């Protein structure tokens, strides 16, 4: 048995063409039963009365939405072949491609874990952390409901360390790459002797068997029954809550009876866990800034004609004069691109997203226009925030809570503007405001 292959494939479901091992090595392990093969796509014919339809399922991402499947004449298998466009960026899975799974003698880690952390938890953090640890030890699912800026990551450390020491394989998943990139160096410092992989789109190849995997939820398409403990960070973030295949991917990546734990500021009703803890205070103990509503009637018409509405212009000028960094959230990419003036802007497809946020932090630029892409994960000292068109459906209460959570994160500047400019108040805006006021009261 090839040990490197064992370490690579344990817990994974991997496209054969993309395996970094020679064909003969793979063939030998298939013949000796170490590797189990699965076809890429399963297509079944369903008939109801006179109506016949083809239903396909992707064995990697478990997508069943038929509009993502495309069928063509394949020159490799010389048959009519179906492939999945849903997970195509990870290499195409088609009817004639083979998925590899490691079937017996799973790889194990060295189990020489060290926990090196000298930070201190506040009494509230300590309590939540202990509750989480208890749930993890009893293998019961746990929801950690913590406000933005509560210091959630630190709370996870004791539970992760205990799991690792018990010889368990642990996964921390988050919907966004930015979050994984931020977590990786922190975890490496805290667990210096643990083999950690950070997996996201475009991540470099990483060798060996990782006892701790930090991964975007997308990357979990490539795992099957791999983890004993799974933590989903930012479980309320787009696209996780909106994409059922991502939720299925997390369940699929966990071992059959493994508990899945969630960490979020704004739990959706669909998150059902056995236990939960609530953390309503920021680590610095100050109140969360409460959003203010301000009317900006007909803003979209005015912006279309190339004018910035008076109230908004006044707000921007004030921030520039007092040299306060600011973020303006806009509902659509079109509005962002057509916003008059020279203020730099970022959206999901923007290549210099990281650089621009950096420049804002270092005060090289006065402010940034953004879509909801910056709603979470960014910390900018003393930033003030305005949402334009807060009544639009893209700004759900959880998005608005996250956006409000950008303000007042540092102990030095615990307060700041958070203004919802609107063309009529929506229920979601009210919900967000109520939730934040509720946390401040408790």
Partner 1 sequence: MTCLICGTPYQSTPTWSKLFLNQLDSSTCTRCFEKFEVSESAIDFTDFLGTPYEGAVDSVFCLYTYNEPMKEFLHQYKFLQDIALAKVFALSLQQVFHRKEGIVVPIPMHAEKLVLRTFAQVDELLNAAQILFQQVLTKTASDSQGKKTKKERLKTSNLFEAIQTIEETNYILFDDIYTTGATIHHAAKVLKDSGAKRVDAITLIKG
**Where would I find the H helices in 10-150?**
23-31, 123-137
The answer to the question of residue 127 lying near partner 1 (CB under 8 A) is: no
Q: Residues 81, 72: contact at Cβ < 8 Å?
A: yes
Site pattern 94..113 for partner 1 (x: CB under 8 A): x-------------------
- CA 157 to the chain's CA centroid: 19
The answer to the question of residue 45 lying near partner 1 (CB under 8 A) is: no
The answer to the question of residue 421 lying near partner 1 (CB under 8 A) is: no
State the nearest-atom distance from the C-beta of 380 to partner 1, in Å: 28
Stretch that binds partner 1, among 44-52, 65-73, 153-161, 373-381 (CB under 8 A): 65-73
Tallying the residues shown for the chain, one arrives at 442
- Rounded distance, CA 343 to CA 339, Å? 9
Nearest alpha carbon to residue 63 among 29, 86, 94, 38:
86
The answer to the question of residue 72 lying near partner 1 (CB under 8 A) is: yes
The answer to the question of residue 89 lying near partner 1 (CB under 8 A) is: yes
The answer to the question of residue 81 lying near partner 1 (CB under 8 A) is: yes
Stretch that binds partner 1, among 75-83, 106-114, 179-187, 225-233 (CB under 8 A): 75-83
Kindly provide the residue ranges of all beta strands, DSSP E only, lying in 108-184, ordered along the sequence.
142-146, 170-174
Q: How many residues bind partner 1, per CB under 8 A?
A: 17
Nearest alpha carbon to residue 401 among 411, 392, 390:
390
The answer to the question of residue 47 lying near partner 1 (CB under 8 A) is: no
Nearer to partner 1, 95 or 135 (CB): 95
Stretch that binds partner 1, among 35-43, 71-79, 123-131, 213-221 (CB under 8 A): 71-79
State the nearest-atom distance from the C-beta of 92 to partner 1, in Å: 5
- Rounded distance, CA 81 to CA 208, Å? 34
For residue 205, the 8-state DSSP code is P
Nearer to partner 1, 48 or 75 (CB): 75
Instruction: Select the residue interacting with partner 1 from 8, 34, 83, 421 (CB under 8 A).
Output: 83
Other C-beta atoms lying within 10 Å of the C-beta of residue 390 = 28
Q: Residues 44, 55: contact at Cβ < 8 Å?
A: yes
Token pair of 380 as six digits: 């900018």
Site for partner 1 in 292-351 (CB under 8 A): 333-334
Element containing residue 428 per DSSP (H, E): helix 427-441
Token pair of 41 as six digits: 């796509």
Instruction: Select the residue interacting with partner 1 from 52, 67, 118, 305 (CB under 8 A).
Output: 67
The answer to the question of residue 75 lying near partner 1 (CB under 8 A) is: yes
State the nearest-atom distance from the C-beta of 104 to partner 1, in Å: 32
The answer to the question of residue 30 lying near partner 1 (CB under 8 A) is: no
List the strands of the sheet with 35-39, edge to edge.
13-15, 98-102, 35-39
Q: List interacting residues with partner 1 (CB under 8 A).
A: 67, 70, 72-76, 81, 83, 85, 88-89, 91-92, 94, 333-334
């Amino acid at each position: 048995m090839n040990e490197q292959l064992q370490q690579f494939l344990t817990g994974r479901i991997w496209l054969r063409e993309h395996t970094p091992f020679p064909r003969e090595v793979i063939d030998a392990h298939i013949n000796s039963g170490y590797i189990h093969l699965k076809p890429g796509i399963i297509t079944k014919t369903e008939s109801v009365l006179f109506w016949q339809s083809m239903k396909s399922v992707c064995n990697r991402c478990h997508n069943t939405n038929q509009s993502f499947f495309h069928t063509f004449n394949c020159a490799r298998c010389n048959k009519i072949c179906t492939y999945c466009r849903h997970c195509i960026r990870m290499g195409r899975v088609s009817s004639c491609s083979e998925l590899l799974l490691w079937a017996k003698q799973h790889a194990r880690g060295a189990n020489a874990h060290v926990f090196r952390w000298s930070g201190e938890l506040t009494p509230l953090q300590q309590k939540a952390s202990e509750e989480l640890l208890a749930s993890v030890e009893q293998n019961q699912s746990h929801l950690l409901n913590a406000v933005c800026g509560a210091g959630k990551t630190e709370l996870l450390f004791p539970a992760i360390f205990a799991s690792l020491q018990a010889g368990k394989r642990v996964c921390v998943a988050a919907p966004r790459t930015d979050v994984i990139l931020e977590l990786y160096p922190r975890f490496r410092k805290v667990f210096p002797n643990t083999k950690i992989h950070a997996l996201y789109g475009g991540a470099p190849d990483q060798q060996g068997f990782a006892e701790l995997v930090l991964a975007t939820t997308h990357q979990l398409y490539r795992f099957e029954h791999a983890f004993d403990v799974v933590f989903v960070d930012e479980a309320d973030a787009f696209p996780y809550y909106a994409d059922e295949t991502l939720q299925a991917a997390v369940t699929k990546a966990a071992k059959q009876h493994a508990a899945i734990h969630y960490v979020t500021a704004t739990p959706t009703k669909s998150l059902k866990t056995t236990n939960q803890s609530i953390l309503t205070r920021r680590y610095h103990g100050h109140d969360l800034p409460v959003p203010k509503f301000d009317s900006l009637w007909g803003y979209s018409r005015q912006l279309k004609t190339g004018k910035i509405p008076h109230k908004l212009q006044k707000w921007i000028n004030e921030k520039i004069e007092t040299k306060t960094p600011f973020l303006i959230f806009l509902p659509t990419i079109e509005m962002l691109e057509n916003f008059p003036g020279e203020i730099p802007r970022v959206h999901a497809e923007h290549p210099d997203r990281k650089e621009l946020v950096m420049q804002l932090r270092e005060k090289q630029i006065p402010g940034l226009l953004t879509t909801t892409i910056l709603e979470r994960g960014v910390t900018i000292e003393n930033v003030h925030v305005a949402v334009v068109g807060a009544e639009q459906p893209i700004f759900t209460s959880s998005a608005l809570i996250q956006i409000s959570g950008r303000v007042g994160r540092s102990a030095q500047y615990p307060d700041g503007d958070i203004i919802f400019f609107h063309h009529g108040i929506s229920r979601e805006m009210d919900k967000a405001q109520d939730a934040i006021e509720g946390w401040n009261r408790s």
